[in-house]
Amino acid sequence: MAAILKIAFLVAALMGIASATDGGDISEYYSAATFSCCRNNGWDFVIVRSYCSFGGRDNNAPATLAQAEAAGIPYRDVYHFPCMNKISAAQQVADDYDGVAGKFGMMWFDIETNPSPGCGYTGSAAENCNFLGDLISAGHSHGIHMGIYASEYMWSSIMGGCTVGAANGISLWYAHYDGARTFSDFRGFGGWSKPAMKQYNDGVGICGINADADWYA
């Protein structure tokens, strides 16, 4: 993300400016024309899938990020859908980073049930938590600015009482499809008492784009 929320975080921290911005997350390629439409409908950011649940790069990500940049979307992030067991945390983060280095601002680890064969989480929250810790360590080794995406339900089901994300100062993007652009519904989990971003709807309903609706404040 040529610096999506990374820049927004720094601006807010250094200048004390409160802001709220709209955007969406996607798992498909879209053209600059589509992103231009989204921009005209209020998008300030997009989060593009860069690593797939089966344990490999999303090869569309670099071109998609370039199209979003060409359309004037100011902030561009990526999300990484981890594959546990089939490929090491260090290797998958390295592979992902190599594919999109210099094209994004933040990388968000997508914590939810993985349907791909051989890539699912174990029944042990402790083992899953350790794996996430390994992803975070790998991200740090590449100098990646990281975040974590999860719903309260998915986090408790997969990670249990794990607090490795919050303990490492990793920002939270949470999912709750109530259609509301507010954090008033947030209930703390995983050690986080405050989120950075919310996925509030599973469809944005604009420009023919298949995207979830997100709000950052």
Residues designated catalytic: 25, 110, 112
Element (H, E) at 61: helix 61-70
Distance CA 28, CA 140 (A): 27
Selection from 27, 46, 49, 50 nearest residue 35 by Cα: 46
Amino acid (one-letter) located at 177: Y
Can you spell out the DSSP letters for 181-205?
A: SSSTT---BTTBSS-SEEEEES---
DSSP 140-169: HHTT--EEEEE-HHHHHHHTTT--HHHHTT
Give the C-alpha separation, 59 to 210, whole Å: 18
Range list of β-strands (E), the chain: 21-26, 43-52, 56-57, 75-80, 107-110, 146-150, 171-175, 197-201, 212-216
